Chains A and B, each alone.
Chain A
Amino acid sequence: MKARKILEILDAKQVFVQDEDMLDKDYEYCFATDLMSDALALIKNHNESLVFITGLCNPQAFRTAMMLDVDFVVFVRDKHTDETLIEAAKDLGFNFFKSPKTMFDACVCLGNEGIKGLDIN
């Protein structure tokens, strides 16, 4: 599914967009957590086609995604986003999106449209 379709499903806003081409890239999987350690331990495959959903609204989310070669991060629960976060996105080359949905609702909406979860075993 194209990134722009995923953003539409999540009612997500673009806070900062660096690379418009990314909106036409396909994504197939989703992993959602506020624990960066869990993301680092459990995202072991499909990294390039994975949407990372988190409510952890700080630069660690982008740094974690960078370490994992994940390039699509959506912040949920419509958290306040400050300049520090935008600077981190710019520095690391991320586009920056946020959705008003809860983490649960975001996952349900994507699951209903065919986005898959990761097999972590």
Chain B
Amino acid sequence: MILTKEYNVKKNDFVNAGKVSVEVKRLLKETGISPSTIRRIGIACYEAEINMIIHSLGGDITFNVEDDGKVTLSFDDVGPGIPDIERALVEGFSTASMEAKEMGFGAGMGLPNIKRVSDEFSISSSSEGTHLLIGFVEQ
């Protein structure tokens, strides 16, 4: 592993929303990974971080860069879970609060966009938490 970092994200922390993704992107620029791959990672990380702040009770983000250049990000929150993942993956479906919408989010594009830009995407959810794992390789 070249690099591993963990971050904690708090529920409704709109002031700091996106700061983890800013740091992840800055760290990635020092790795030699191509700008187009870094852009995809940044977009997915930012959307997932915002989702965690808007929809979850808080959780952790783990960021890894492996020796072969593969990048993984896991987002593990402590609930309340996504009742219907299939619906959440439909563009335009949103359960976001007005506060989230005032911040420019909650248009129902988050999860579909994360899936679109990532090379690996797996998600599971229960009332105890949602676990999202995304992976990226150079294209």
Contact = CB atoms under 8 A, between A and B. Distances in A.
B109 A38 contact: yes
A40 B43 contact: yes
Interface string A81-92: 000100000011
Interface of B: 15, 17-19, 21-22, 25, 35, 39, 42-43, 45-47, 91, 103-110, 112-113, 116
Interface stretch (A23-31, A64-72, A111-119): A64-72
A121 to B, nearest CB: 14
A54 B127 CA distance: 37
Contact of A60 (B18, B35, B108): B18
Main secondary structure of the interface of A (DSSP, over half): helix
A51 to B, nearest CB: 17
A59 interface: yes
A69 B45 CA distance: 14
23 contacts: A34-B104, A35-B105, A35-B109, A37-B105, A37-B108, A40-B46, A40-B47, A40-B113, A41-B109, A56-B103, A59-B18, A60-B103, A60-B104, A63-B17, A63-B18, A63-B22, A63-B46, A64-B104, A66-B22, A67-B25, A67-B42, A68-B39, A84-B15
Which 6 pairs, one residue from A and one from B, show the smallest C-beta to C-beta distance?
A36-B104, A63-B18, A37-B109, A67-B42, A37-B107, A56-B104
B104 A67 contact: no
A58 B109 contact: no
A41 B113 contact: yes
Contacts of B107: 35, 37-38
A66 B109 contact: no
B79 to A, nearest CB: 23
B17 to A, nearest CB: 7
B47 A37 contact: yes
